[in-house]
Amino acid sequence: MSWEAVYLQQVINGLSLGAMYALLALGFTLVYGILELINFAHFYVFMVSSFIGMAVLEAFGLSGQSHILSGFALIGVLVVAFGATMLAAGGMGVLIERLALRPLRGIPGTVGMITTIGIGYILFNVILLTVGAGSFNYPNPMPRIEWPIGGARLELRELLIWGVSLVLMLGLHFFVNKTRLGKAMRATAQDSEAARMMGVDVDRVIVMAFFLGSALAGAAALIFGLYYNYTSFIIGYTVGLRAFTAAVLGGIGSVAGAMVGGIIIGLIEALGGQLIAVRWTDVIIFSILVLVLVFLPTGLMGRATVTRS
Amino acid sequence: MADRQTTAPRASSIGSDVFGYLLRASPLQRLAPHHRARVLMILAAVVALAFPILIDRNDADIDSAANALAFAALALGLNIVVGFAGLLDLGYAAFFAIGAYSYGFFASAQFMPAWSDFWEPFQWLHLVARIHQDGGDLVHFTVSFWLMLPISAAMAALFGVLFGAPTLRLKGDYLAIVTLGFGEIVPIIARNWPTVTNGAMGLNGVAAPQIFGHAFGINAMPYYYVGVGLVAFLIFTSSRLKSSRIGRAWMAIREDEIAAAAMGVNRVKFKLLAFAIGAAFAGATGSFYVAKLQTATPEMFMFPVSVMLLVMVVFGGIGSVWGVVVGALILQILQSWFLEDLSQWLHALGRLINVAWLQRVELASSIELIFGVILVFMMLYRRQGLIPASRRVQALTLQEQTAQVELAATPMVERLRVLGDLTYHGTEPLLDIKDLTVRFGGLVALRGVSLSVPSGSVVAVIGPNGSGKSTLFNAVTGLVTAESGKVRFADYPIEGLPPHTVLGRGMARTFQNIRLFPNLTVLENVMIGMHARLHTGAAGALLRLPGTQREEAQAREHALEILTLFGNRLLPRVDHVVSSLSYANRRRVEIARALASSPKLLLLDEPTAGMNPAETLELAGQIKQLHGQGLTIVLIEHKLDVVVSLADNVVVLDHGEKIAEGTPDVVRRNEEVIRAYLGRSAAIGNAPKGGAPKGSTAIA
């Protein structure tokens, strides 16, 4: 491959990673925008969801890359897999909010965040103890179809990732900006007290934020499995932190920012791994996280938060 | 971070704790509290020293105990950062790693440069040894463990400062994420920098400590005693710091950063200090741990270690020195002994009742799951931890609850400035504001406001809600940056100065919606007000020399004197947590806290808000008393009868502009003022019928 083709290939890879990070980053942003809570459990909801997705695919009799489907069978399986995984992930998010976070509502400081670390730890270890520490071959019914583009190649699974991400993000955008509940959500993010007084059921809005964010994490988890063909108990932390960096880079609390941040982090990961060395990728990404937080705390597209004395 | 719910009824219902019960049931109860603490401490020391004999010198158990001590030491360090200063650090293990690799590097054969004359003096100091080898001699680092202990601490502290300086301005949860990133980066660097760390393989052959020429070797006993010494020293350090000016400043930052700054605490400096000291604890412990294991690998310092330490702190009691030690020890013992035994019992049970899976259960591997459960459970049901940082106080007697304001005799108030005469003798007005403009985005909160406050006067600032009164205070005290204008205080320009410097110059304030340090006692709140007038540093707090003791005693006495201003309103409640006080009493504490800084100028933001007429009258009398002592006061107030009775001069703001100024009488008749309060129609004598708008009774 010529070097142009290498970079083109890395851009394609980066966009796929970025789409996945963006979906995951949206979960952080939705919850943070409303509760000002960094939901650490989100990392692990993503990881657990990838195992749920695996179970769904296996329920269709798929295992590894042995069964390749096409046409309506493929579309049907994917629609059901995404739907079921997202529902289960969303349910998990709602459950977490209901059981562990609602009782702590309104308590200032880092109590909420510490609790989400605890929940994340529980999810992590439940998977570790039940499923085990190995890395699992992910059932993947997608045929390996690829098109050459300028020396690089574009695969069907990449198109699927971009398509699914685009549909979900547009859907979220529509929901937040065009529906009644979306308006209630935006109002709650601005000032939950005022929204409550105007008759907004704030509890419902918060549940909705957790549901949507976690469902998107479920989609991201399935995408991860279909893209990399494996899953493991550790992906929550490694992938989650990158997605979180994406959310911060874009401006946490900003839906558009999460998408932009996700794409940027995806590209940095792909191209950085190419330009420097894969073993330093994490250092690069964490450095970005630290630098953005220190020098640009509102991110690329975040709004300045009003602080009152 | 300690939360504000420690006094909530929900916490206390479960909080009628086992420890308290045991204490009440034991003969210890008959001892005075400080004696009791001493007896418990001696008991703990005896148990710690006799422990190896008690468990019959079982080397494996002593080894586990030594490890547990290392984690107790780490938990103590994390407690300084998280518990005292309220900075959630999720990458604390990074400092542990830095200390560990520091010792490992200088006491192993990892790095062996070629020998040259440069190394001669170091050899003479026994810091390096010369290794003879074919093809040229090599340098072998052999720095003593005892020397490396403080050096590792200093290294870690240095990194704490380097890392903290740019990041400590961040809000709590953002800081947590940044520390998490730092905690990730350090092990990755350790893995990818084989020259120094030997990469993922880890350092090997780290030298064991020696004492008087005897190497510790692999026997656990000496390490155990070093661990006991280390933990004892760190407990001592933590306790001394906690009950000093330093500890109070940290807790103030934890409770309310803005208020801490307004009371003279240099936030950046004290956060860095907490970070550095916390890191130093971890650095020293890192040396100890590596010396004991004689190896160091990147895996020893990953995220799970930081989380485990956080669980220990949360479990034991955030901010509670003995709590975190007990928490760390219990969790370590659980991990290394109890879970093993429990697994064995389950296996036996499984064999007995012939259940296969019971025979295979390995509880030790689920320790992290247990940590997660503990974390969530503690946060939901017992946020103050096993041994809460603050003790509960007894309820007041009926007599103590009855207000006796007359007790506030003038002679006591006369001594209000015992900590130094800060009276202003200049010729200029004490406070001189010229053309002050403050803008929040598109909103102009103050537009070209000028105001001068002569020394010894009382100036009232009035105006409708949203007219910029509190913004004026915020801009003058440095909480809000003004866009333009000049502010001179006691002959010096103060615009652009940070809040703690402004307080240091002698300007103290209260807040419209009360910003006390909710989980601290009345006395602690007032003593934090003295922060800028006291001098004890970290070293002074540790050594507690007679000078420091005297300063502390005087500060305490002075705080009590200030509280006498309010009769017996606050005196019986000095040990009460302020969040348990009534609204009016909280306002009083805030005024007392401001007075404690020995100000030349006191800014009161709606001091009587929420008080009933009798309380308002009482407070007005007390403010008058302060004025009588020569204190200059600027007052924001809505109750115009209070304004009239106190103020020499009244300034009226409306929509960020000054619309009138003069004696209360003059202002009261000013048409523009009436219009601002009542609307245009009222000003031309045509007030709308029906309910009079807010403020009208006071004006007319």
User: So what's the pLDDT on residue B514?
Assistant: 93
Q: Report which residue type is found at B418.
A: V
Q: CA-based Rg of chain B, rounded to a whole angstrom?
A: 31
Instruction: Report which of B602, B528, B559, B632 is spatially closest to residue B261, judged by C-alpha positions.
Output: B528
Q: Is residue A44 within 8 Å of residue A38, measured between CB atoms? A: no
User: So what's the pLDDT on residue B6?
Assistant: 40
Establish if B180 touches chain A: CB-CB under 8 angstroms: yes
Q: How far apart are the C-alpha atoms of A247 and A269, rounded to whole Å?
A: 15
Share of chain B above pLDDT 90, in %: 47
From A107, A111, A121, residue closest to B307, measured CB to CB = A121
Q: Is residue A64 within 8 Å of residue A139, measured between CB atoms? A: yes
Selected residue of A44, A116, A121 to mutate for chain B interface (largest B Cβ count, 10 A): A121
At B21, is the pLDDT very low, low, confident or very high (cuts 50, 70, 90)? low
Mean of pLDDT values over B506-525: 93
User: So what's the pLDDT on residue B502?
Assistant: 95
pLDDT digits (tens, 9 = 90+) for B291-319: 999 889 998 998 889 999 999 999 999 99
Distances (CA, A) of B621 to B408, B465, B699: 11, 25, 21
pLDDT digits (tens, 9 = 90+) for B592-609: 999 999 898 999 999 998
What is the bridge-based pairing of β-strands B484-489 and B492-493? antiparallel
Mean of pLDDT values over B113-139: 88
Burial group, residue B692, by CB count within 10 angstroms (0-12, 13-18, 19+): middle
Instruction: Report which of A284, A297, A237 is spatially closest to residue A32, judged by C-alpha positions.
Output: A297
Q: Report which residue type is found at B310.
A: L
pLDDT digits (tens, 9 = 90+) for B23-36: 555 666 667 767 77
Q: Is residue B22 within 8 Å of residue B103, measured between CB atoms? A: no
In what side-by-side order are the strands of the sheet with B443-453? B443-453, B431-440, B484-489, B492-493
This model of the complex carries an ipTM of: 0.89
User: So what's the pLDDT on residue A114?
Assistant: 92
Does residue B10 register a pLDDT over 80?
Answer: no
Mean of the per-residue pLDDT values of chain B:
85
Structure token digits, residue A103: 């009782």
Does residue B507 register a pLDDT over 50?
Answer: yes
B184 with A108: Cβ contact below 8 A = no
Mean of pLDDT values over B519-534: 93
DSSP for B222-255 reads HHHHHHHHHHHHHHHHHHHHHTSHHHHHHHHHHH
Q: Judged by CB atoms within 8 Å, which residues 231-270 of B form the interface with A?
A: 258
Sign of CA dihedral A189, A192, A194, A200: positive
Nearest CA in chain A to B8: A107
User: So what's the pLDDT on residue B27?
Assistant: 65
| List of chain B residues whose C-beta atoms are within 8 Å of the C-beta of residue A290 | 167, 178, 181-182
Q: Judged by CB atoms within 8 Å, which residues 298-317 of B form the interface with A?
A: 303, 307, 310-311, 314
Q: How far apart are the C-alpha atoms of B118 and B125, rounded to whole Å?
A: 13
Q: At what angle do helices A180-190 and A156-178 cross, to 10 degrees?
A: 80
Share of chain A above pLDDT 90, in %: 51
Structure token digits, residue A111: 């109590």
Q: Judged by CB atoms within 8 Å, which residues 238-297 of A form the interface with B?
A: 241, 244, 248, 279-280, 282-283, 286-287, 289-290, 293-294, 297
User: So what's the pLDDT on residue B28?
Assistant: 62
A115 with B375: Cβ contact below 8 A = yes
Alpha carbons within 13 A on the beta-carbon side of A117: 27
Q: Which helix (H) or strand (E) holds B1?
A: none
User: So what's the pLDDT on residue B414?
Assistant: 54
CA distance B255 to chain A (A): 9
DSSP for B117-175 reads GGGHHHHHTTSEEEEP-TTS-EEEE---HHHHHHHHHHHHHHHHHHHHHHHTTS-HHHH
Q: CA-based Rg of chain A, rounded to a whole angstrom?
A: 19
| List of chain A residues whose C-beta atoms are within 8 Å of the C-beta of residue B380 | 100, 103-104, 115
Q: Is residue B181 within 8 Å of residue A286, measured between CB atoms? A: yes
B258 with A297: Cβ contact below 8 A = no
- Which residues, including other chains, have CB under 8 Å from residue B349's CB and lie 6 or more apart? B355, B358
Nearest CA in chain B to A237: B303
Instruction: Report which of B520, B664, B643 is spatially closest to residue B593, judged by C-alpha positions.
Output: B520
User: So what's the pLDDT on residue A289?
Assistant: 84
From B1, B166, B189, residue closest to A109, measured CB to CB = B1
Lowest-confidence region among B227-241, B424-438, B671-685? B671-685
Mean of pLDDT values over A50-71: 87
User: So what's the pLDDT on residue A4?
Assistant: 84
CA angle A267, B179, B189 (to 5 degrees): 65
Share of chain B above pLDDT 70, in %: 88
User: So what's the pLDDT on residue A272?
Assistant: 83
Establish if B170 touches chain A: CB-CB under 8 angstroms: yes
pLDDT digits (tens, 9 = 90+) for A244-276: 999 989 988 888 889 899 999 999 998 887 788
Q: Which helix (H) or strand (E) holds B584?
A: helix B583-595
| List of chain B residues whose C-beta atoms are within 8 Å of the C-beta of residue A129 | 365-366, 369
Sign of CA dihedral B488, B492, B497, B502: negative
Q: What secondary structure letter does DSSP report for A111? A: H
User: So what's the pLDDT on residue B511?
Assistant: 95
User: So what's the pLDDT on residue B625?
Assistant: 84
A38 with B303: Cβ contact below 8 A = no
Does residue B638 register a pLDDT over 60?
Answer: yes
User: So what's the pLDDT on residue B20?
Assistant: 57
A282 with B189: Cβ contact below 8 A = no
CA distance A187 to chain B (A): 20
Does residue B12 register a pLDDT over 50?
Answer: no
Establish if B379 touches chain A: CB-CB under 8 angstroms: yes
Nearest CA in chain B to A127: B369
| List of chain B residues whose C-beta atoms are within 8 Å of the C-beta of residue A289 | 177-178, 181
Structure token digits, residue B529: 């007000």
Establish if A66 touches chain B: CB-CB under 8 angstroms: no
| List of chain A residues whose C-beta atoms are within 8 Å of the C-beta of residue B480 | 309
Burial group, residue B100, by CB count within 10 angstroms (0-12, 13-18, 19+): buried
Q: How far apart are the C-alpha atoms of A259 and B609, rounded to whole Å?
A: 47
Burial group, residue B11, by CB count within 10 angstroms (0-12, 13-18, 19+): middle
Distances (CA, A) of B150 to A150, B221, B242, B279: 60, 22, 21, 12
A118 with B374: Cβ contact below 8 A = yes
- Where are the strands (E) in B429-564, listed by range? 431-440, 443-453, 458-462, 484-489, 492-493, 507-509
Size of interface A-B (CB pairs under 8 A): 129
User: So what's the pLDDT on residue A184?
Assistant: 92
Does residue B330 register a pLDDT over 60?
Answer: yes
User: So what's the pLDDT on residue B81?
Assistant: 95
User: So what's the pLDDT on residue B309?
Assistant: 96
Mean of pLDDT values over B254-259: 93
| List of chain B residues whose C-beta atoms are within 8 Å of the C-beta of residue A111 | 1, 3, 379, 383
| List of chain B residues whose C-beta atoms are within 8 Å of the C-beta of residue A287 | 181, 185
**H helix intervals, A179-296:** 180-190, 192-197, 202-228, 235-250, 255-275, 281-295
Does residue A25 register a pLDDT over 60?
Answer: yes
pLDDT digits (tens, 9 = 90+) for B331-387: 998 888 888 888 888 888 888 888 888 787 777 778 889 999 999 999 999 988 888
A231 strand-pairing partners:
A136
Burial group, residue B623, by CB count within 10 angstroms (0-12, 13-18, 19+): buried
Q: Is residue A241 within 8 Å of residue A47, measured between CB atoms? A: no
Structure token digits, residue B372: 């997660």
User: So what's the pLDDT on residue B587?
Assistant: 94
- Which residues, including other chains, have CB under 8 Å from residue B75's CB and lie 6 or more apart? B309, B312, B313, B316, B324, B325, B327, B328
- Which residues, including other chains, have CB under 8 Å from residue B593's CB and lie 6 or more apart? B263, B516, B525, B526, B528, B529
At A305, is the pLDDT very low, low, confident or very high (cuts 50, 70, 90)? very low
Does residue B407 register a pLDDT over 70?
Answer: no
At B281, is the pLDDT very low, low, confident or very high (cuts 50, 70, 90)? very high
In the three-class reduction of DSSP (H, G, I as helix; E, B as strand; rest coil), residue B462 is classed as strand
Q: Report which residue type is found at B421.
A: D
Q: What secondary structure letter does DSSP report for B114? A: B
The residue among B10 and B468 whose pLDDT is bigger is B468
Q: Which helix (H) or strand (E) holds B300?
A: none
What is the bridge-based pairing of β-strands B657-662 and A135-137? unpaired
- Which residues, including other chains, have CB under 8 Å from residue B689's CB and lie 6 or more apart? none
B167 with A294: Cβ contact below 8 A = yes
At B4, is the pLDDT very low, low, confident or very high (cuts 50, 70, 90)? very low
B170 with A294: Cβ contact below 8 A = yes
Establish if B373 touches chain A: CB-CB under 8 angstroms: yes
Structure token digits, residue A81: 């897999």
At B158, is the pLDDT very low, low, confident or very high (cuts 50, 70, 90)? very high
Mean of pLDDT values over A129-142: 89
Q: What secondary structure letter does DSSP report for B449? A: E
Does residue B171 register a pLDDT over 90?
Answer: no
Structure token digits, residue A236: 């929550």
User: So what's the pLDDT on residue B392?
Assistant: 62
How many other β-carbons are positioned within 10 Å of the β-carbon of residue A28? 28
A118 with B366: Cβ contact below 8 A = no
A121 with B90: Cβ contact below 8 A = no
Q: How far apart are the C-alpha atoms of B19 and B35, rounded to whole Å?
A: 17
A38 with B1: Cβ contact below 8 A = no
Mean of pLDDT values over B169-183: 84
B118 strand-pairing partners:
none
In the three-class reduction of DSSP (H, G, I as helix; E, B as strand; rest coil), residue B74 is classed as helix
Mean of pLDDT values over A130-159: 88
User: So what's the pLDDT on residue B477?
Assistant: 94
CA distance B212 to chain A (A): 43
B374 with A125: Cβ contact below 8 A = no
Q: How far apart are the C-alpha atoms of A25 and A213, rounded to whole Å?
A: 9
Establish if A122 touches chain B: CB-CB under 8 angstroms: yes
Q: Which helix (H) or strand (E) holds A146?
A: strand A146-149
DSSP for B328-376 reads HHHHHHIIIIIHHHHHHHHHHHHHHHT-HHHHH--GGGGHHHHHHHHHH
Q: How would you label B490-510 residue by residue, b for 16+ Cβ within 10 Å and e otherwise? A: beeebbebebbbbbbbbbbbb
From B1, B166, B368, residue closest to A294, measured CB to CB = B166
Q: How far apart are the C-alpha atoms of B284 and B268, rounded to whole Å?
A: 24
Nearest CA in chain A to B514: A309
Lowest-confidence region among A271-285, B17-31, B155-169? B17-31
The residue among B399 and B19 whose pLDDT is bigger is B399
Does residue A196 register a pLDDT over 50?
Answer: yes
In the three-class reduction of DSSP (H, G, I as helix; E, B as strand; rest coil), residue A210 is classed as helix
Does residue B419 register a pLDDT over 70?
Answer: no
Q: Report which residue type is found at A87.
A: L
Q: How far apart are the C-alpha atoms of B423 and B400, rounded to whole Å?
A: 35
Structure token digits, residue B533: 């007038």
Establish if B375 touches chain A: CB-CB under 8 angstroms: yes
Selected residue of B331, B379, B516 to mutate for chain A interface (largest A Cβ count, 10 A): B379
Q: How far apart are the C-alpha atoms of A307 and B80, rounded to whole Å?
A: 27
Q: How far apart are the C-alpha atoms of A38 and B134, rounded to whole Å?
A: 59
pLDDT digits (tens, 9 = 90+) for B64-118: 999 999 999 999 999 999 999 999 999 999 999 999 999 999 998 888 888 888 9
User: So what's the pLDDT on residue B641?
Assistant: 87
